[in-house]
Amino acid sequence: MPWILIIGIILCISLIQTTLLHHISVLGIQPDLFIIFLVFYSLNSNLKRSFHVNWAIGLAKDFFTEGLFGLNPILFVIVGHLISIIKDKIFGRHLITQILVTLIISIIYNLLYFFILSVSLASVDLLPTVWKCPIIAIYNSLIVSPVFWLFNRFYSSIKFPFLNRKTR
């Protein structure tokens, strides 16, 4: 049953990302709900389940956005694993922590993505696209608070058993 809900959430995120977020873009840049959900889920679940969900989020991003097919699942698993490594050392339920982790992970993901894209495709120049990384990361960090609040409300209302709700 939880996988059906996770797939439903990923499909809703995909729908919102591909339809509604084009209307709130700034300088042609829009927030990345896939990254935000990856950060939320990686901060709140165990490593094994996080690995599978991060892969599914990356696969959904590949299906619903343009780019090299197969690159997003690999990068999402890598950055999700980075979050899993540090999540026991930080208090992931604090708003400032969530904003900072989203900012850092957005920068890491986008730098890796643009670097691999520029190496793979000769038509993509790395320098003009690198300036987008901090803007995307800041945009993601700005909307993290209401999005995490919605995710927390949703998860607490249906009481997912697989989320780690540790308090320190």
Q: What is the pTM of this model?
A: 0.80
Name the residue ranges covered by the structural domains of the chain: 2-158
Q: How crowded is residue 50: how many other Cβ atoms within 10 Å of its Cβ?
A: 23
At 8-41, the pLDDT tens digits run 888 988 888 888 877 777 777 788 889 888 888 8
Report helix, strand or coil for 56.
helix
What phi and psi, each to the nearest 5 degrees, are found at residue 102? -65, -40
Task: Flag residues of the chain having pLDDT under 70.
Answer: 1, 91-92, 121-126, 128, 156-168
